[in-house]
Structure 1
């Protein structure tokens, strides 16, 4: 299988007053193309920091990350932004929709940034897939939390990403709504052939993926395939 994400001897620390606080210690793992992959661990274990590093949103201290066959350390900030825009999708716990844009405009933005002339039509198609064709002209403030996250899902898949990173995608949703969002996420992922990397503290969600990486205290404590 082709590796889409490969981390070798990754380390990350932050300045905390006069001390350095090490968040991640010698992290090594790989994700195969089209695999569903979960990063699990308790709060403060370094999960979200790790996800940001994988996506090139932050700089590592030591080690190397290869994303879509490209070493992130070799790229400038503009090149990193271009890589994310072309090959990466994101779903966040707090939706991160633009409040002054309607649902369809939020989904169309990444496409318009790519110069896609069919941005509006594709945005309509994606909103239909997530069951929101009747809400496409509503603003985020007019949508429920579950509806906002479904708009965020449509936006995440809009640029046909090779890999999608989801950070606690149901963290702000009730259990029933969260289940619907996760079902949609996996359905879209399978349909579009995307690699899915989910950060979660929910082991039931993690068990739905093919590969689970568990971290505690910034160290890998388990790395196993689930057999799904």
Structure 2
């Protein structure tokens, strides 16, 4: 199986006042196409920073990231954005929907950017899959948190990404709603065959994936296979 993500000796530092903080220290791992992969660790362990580096949203101080066969260091800002538009989907803890667009419009934005034919039909089909066929024309402010995250799920899968990064996808949801969203996430992912990378502090969610990378203090303390629940 081909590797879709190769992370090698990744280090990231930030300046805080007069101090230099090493947020990630010599991180190395890879992910195969179609794999489901969780990154876990306590708050402040570097999970979200690592996700941003893997997606090319930020640059490391040392080490390399190869995403979908491309060394991100070889790309400028515009080229990295173009790669993300083609290959990457995102789901965020705080949904990140555009407030002035309806649910359907939010879902079809990535499709329009890529010049898809019949984006409206595709968007409607995806919203139907996540149980929001009666919410096409509702704005985010008219939707519950769980409904907003389901719109975000539909948007993330709309352009058939090769890899999907989910940063604490249930972090702002109650347990019951979060469970429904997780179930949908894995169903859509299995149907699409997308590589899934989930950042979470929720070990139960992490164990649903095929592999778990455990971080502590910016270092990898374990990289283990699981028997997904």
Counterpart of 1:65 in structure 2 is: 65
In structure 1, list runs of 5 or more residues that go unmatched: none
Mapping 1:1-228, distance limit 5 Å: 1-228=1-228
Aligned-residue RMSD, C-alpha = 0.6
* Partner secondary structure for residue 223 of structure 1: strand
Question: Paired residues, what number?
Answer: 228
Can you list the C-alpha shifts for 1:140-173, whole angstroms capped at 9, x where unaligned?
0000000000000000001100000000000000
In 1, Cα distance between the equivalents of 2:119 and 2:21? 44
The Cα of 1:17 is off from its aligned counterpart by 1.2
Q: What TM-score comes out, normalization by structure 2 length? A: 0.98
CA distance in 1 between partners of 2:116 and 2:191 (Å): 21
Q: Distance in 2 between matches of 1:164 and 1:183?
A: 15
The offset of 1:19, in angstroms, is 2.0
String of CA shifts for 1:97-119, please: whole Å, max 9, x gaps.
Answer: 00000000000001111111311
Distance 1:210 1:132 in 2: 29
- Report the secondary structure of 1:53's partner residue: helix
Q: Structure 2: where are the runs of 5+ without partners?
A: none
The whole-number CA distance in structure 1 between the counterparts of 2:59 and 2:40 is: 22
- Aligned mates of 1:128, 1:73 — CA distance in 2: 39
**Secondary structure at 1:42 match in 2:** coil
- Rounded Cα–Cα distance in structure 1 between residues aligned with 2:100 and 2:153: 18
Runs of 4+ in 1 over 3 A off after TM superposition: none
**For residues 144 and 121 of structure 1, what CA distance do their matches in structure 2 show?**
24
